[in-house]
């Protein structure tokens, strides 16, 4: 089966553009990325035609093109957030790390301390239990609750995606800045 580039592109380009728009906030950059996806799609269709799930495949190309876009230029996007202008570093793991520390600090101490010792300081849970005077089961439970609370906080404040050792994120509320 030969790719029908025109009809396939017409069917999916608006959805792909929306997908890119959620991750890239500059209209010109969105159009550049969309054009790159079209070029990759066209080149592939000229040489191969073995794609089983065309929609999933197009989204994967789009996703990878977005990652390449940010890697190439180490771009930043400015985001308006409740009247504040915030630098939104799309692939800046340091920002995520800072937010992670702030989010952990915002948890009640009985949850934040075991989580910090376990996940940031990489201490064994048995050692943490002994240090805090808790049973191993109680320690495991607190760490799991803290992780859930942390995940909820991230979901409340933004979308985080792990992509091949990179992080793309979009700030959705000002709670990420506290």
Q: What's the per-residue H, E or C state across 146-176?
A: HHHHHHHHHHHHEEEEEECCEEEEEECCHHH
> What is the per-residue pLDDT across 138-152, written as a single tens digit (0 to 9) for each?
999 999 999 999 888
**Of the ranges 34-48, 96-110, 129-143, the best mean pLDDT one:** 129-143
CA dist 67 and 61 (Å) reads 10
State residue 140's pLDDT score.
96
**In the predicted model, what is the mean pLDDT of residues 145-169?**
67
**pTM higher than the cut 0.85:** no
**Residue 97 pLDDT class (50, 70, 90 cuts):** low
- pLDDT beyond 80 at 121: yes
State residue 2's pLDDT score.
60
What are the chain's domains? Answer: 5-75 (1.10.1740), 80-177 (1.10.10.10)
């Amino acid at each position: 089966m030969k790719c029908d580039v025109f009809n396939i592109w017409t069917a999916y380009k608006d959805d792909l553009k929306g997908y890119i728009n959620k991750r890239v906030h500059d209209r010109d950059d969105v159009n550049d990325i969309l054009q790159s996806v079209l070029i990759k799609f066209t080149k592939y269709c000229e040489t191969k035609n073995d794609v089983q799930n065309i929609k999933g495949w197009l989204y994967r190309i789009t996703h990878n093109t977005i990652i390449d876009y940010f890697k190439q230029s180490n771009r930043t996007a400015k985001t308006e957030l409740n009247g504040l202008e915030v630098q939104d570093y799309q692939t800046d793991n340091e920002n995520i790390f800072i937010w992670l520390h702030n989010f952990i600090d915002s948890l009640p101490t009985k949850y934040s301390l075991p989580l910090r010792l376990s996940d940031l300081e990489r201490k064994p849970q048995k050692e943490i239990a002994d240090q805090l005077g808790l049973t191993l089961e109680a320690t495991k439970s607190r760490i799991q609750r803290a992780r859930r609370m942390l995940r909820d906080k991230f979901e409340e404040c933004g979308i985080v995606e792990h992509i091949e050792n990179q992080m793309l994120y979009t700030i959705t509320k000002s709670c990420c800045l506290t």
